[in-house]
Amino acid sequence: MFLENTFKSANQSGWIEVITGSMFSGKTEELIRRLRRAQIAKQKVAIFKPKLDTRYSEKEIVSHDANYIESVPVEKASEILDKGIESDVIGIDEAQFFDMDIVEVCNELANRGKRVIVAGLDMDYLGKPFGPMPYLMAIAEYVTKVHAICMRCGNLAHYSHRKSTSDSLIELGEKDKYEPLCRSCYLEALKEQNKDE
């Protein structure tokens, strides 16, 4: 388990933490856990997420287990710099959807003494690095990869597999569209899909 550094000297600089992994791996839960602990330590906390992520609620960070902390939806990464500067700890959820400016924004906040905690998907459903995430992982002091459980074999899951898109007219929830899979089950699933096409 990640244990944060709570000691803070007057001239201590900030740092960046990244929490990443597949869908249903508990990224947001881990982000919330860290932010809650900062709140208990009487630190000022701010949470941001991209505006497009409106799955459940406009204002709150919502994880799949319905834990939530109120968050601020922003359109551009640069808004976090202006709005976050008053806080000690800055949480950013669904970071994979932000523009590349998020990398510089996180650096700038850390340089100004902030603790920045970023959560986001490491890969898209094709298994490719997702948006700014590889850059954020590179510049972070601490990177935590969390894992879901493979829906087919029970091993640790590494991929977010998109199930074959049937022509269903019903709008399905996230849980019906994607499944976390381990490496070998993911490869197997891709083979099956290629056969169907």
Active site residue 94: yes
Distances in Å between the Cα of 54 and the Cα atoms of 34, 57, 59, 73, 192 are 22, 6, 9, 9, 32
Q: Based on the shown chain and the rule CB under 5 A, indicate whether residue 90 belongs to the binding site for Zn ion.
A: no
What's the DSSP call for residue 123?
A: B
Q: Based on the shown chain and the rule CB under 5 A, indicate whether residue 118 belongs to the binding site for Zn ion.
A: no
When the beta carbons of 78 and 155 are compared against Zn ion, the nearer one is 155
> 145 — phi, psi (to 5°)?
-95, 125
Instruction: For residue 178, list its beta bridge partners.
Output: 162
| Residue in 16, 47, 150, 189 binding Zn ion, rule: CB under 5 A | 150
Q: How far is the CB of 158 from Zn ion (least distance, A)?
A: 9
Catalytic residue among 30, 94, 108, 179: 94
Q: How far is the CB of 152 from Zn ion (least distance, A)?
A: 5
Q: Based on the shown chain and the rule CB under 5 A, indicate whether residue 153 belongs to the binding site for Zn ion.
A: yes
Q: Which stretch binds Zn ion (CB under 5 A): 46-54, 100-108, 150-158, 187-195?
A: 150-158
Which of 152, 156, 154, 146 shows the shortest CA–CA distance to 190? Answer: 152
Q: How far is the CB of 164 from Zn ion (least distance, A)?
A: 17
SS3 of the chain: helix, strand, coil, percent, to 5 = 30, 25, 45
When the beta carbons of 105 and 182 are compared against Zn ion, the nearer one is 182
When the beta carbons of 107 and 193 are compared against Zn ion, the nearer one is 193
When the beta carbons of 98 and 186 are compared against Zn ion, the nearer one is 186
Torsion from C-alpha of 117, 80, 67, 177, nearest 10 degrees: -90
CA Rg value for the chain: 18
What is the set of active-site residues?
Answer: 94
Which residues are near Zn ion by CB under 5 A? 150, 152-153, 155, 182, 185
